[in-house]
Amino acid sequence: MTPDDLVPVLQLAGTCYPDYPEDAAIFAERLALAPEGCFVLERGGGLAGYLVSHPWKGALSVPLNTLLTHLPRLPDRWYIHDLALADTARGGGHARAGIALAENQARRRGLAWLSLTAIGPAVPFWLRQGFAPEPTCAKERAILAQYDASARLLSRAVDQSSTSS
């Protein structure tokens, strides 16, 4: 992903997640803080998907539409902030490829966990990908409520033996 991709990324985010709006500054900041975790899928000359991910610390979701200002100095996990695919790109294994890209970033840093906040409608998909719910405290429940009543922080262990690139 490059800064030139941000306008189509925002358009796709608005199409895929109309109930979970985030400002352009959120995507620009994530790209600036962790460019190695931001990818786009191009098909037919246009943007068909994207992944925004970054290092994170602790079992708390990133609040919706909130700037980070900086990344944790000693992260313990890689966080998938957003993975979106246009309807035309679904069913082709691109989501799994995006997960593999994020997991590879975690592996490169020796991080033990891959985490994300799954919005209610997507929870079953993420569970099928091997993610499991994290225990929630009051602070996490307040963050999840910003998303929806069924949102969950999910994590899975990173396979440190894999060498996919």
Distance, CA of 35 to chain centre: 13
Domain-embedded: residue 122: yes
46 is a domain residue:
yes
In a domain, 92, yes or no: yes
> Cβ distance 61 to 136 under 8 Å?
no
**Number of structural domains found in the chain:** 1
In a domain, 18, yes or no: yes
CATH of the domain at 112: 3.40.630.30
Structural domain that includes position 77: 3-157
Specify the pLDDT at position 162: 63
Q: What is the pLDDT of residues 11-60, one digit of tens each?
A: 999 999 999 999 999 999 999 999 999 999 998 889 999 999 999 999 99
Q: Which residues, including other chains, have CB under 8 Å from residue 3's CB and lie 6 or more apart?
A: 28, 31
Decide if 162 is inside a domain: no
Confidence (pLDDT) at 1: 97
Would residue 163 count as lying in a domain?
no
pLDDT per position as a tens digit, 57-116: 999 999 999 999 999 999 999 999 999 999 889 988 899 999 999 999 999 999 999 999
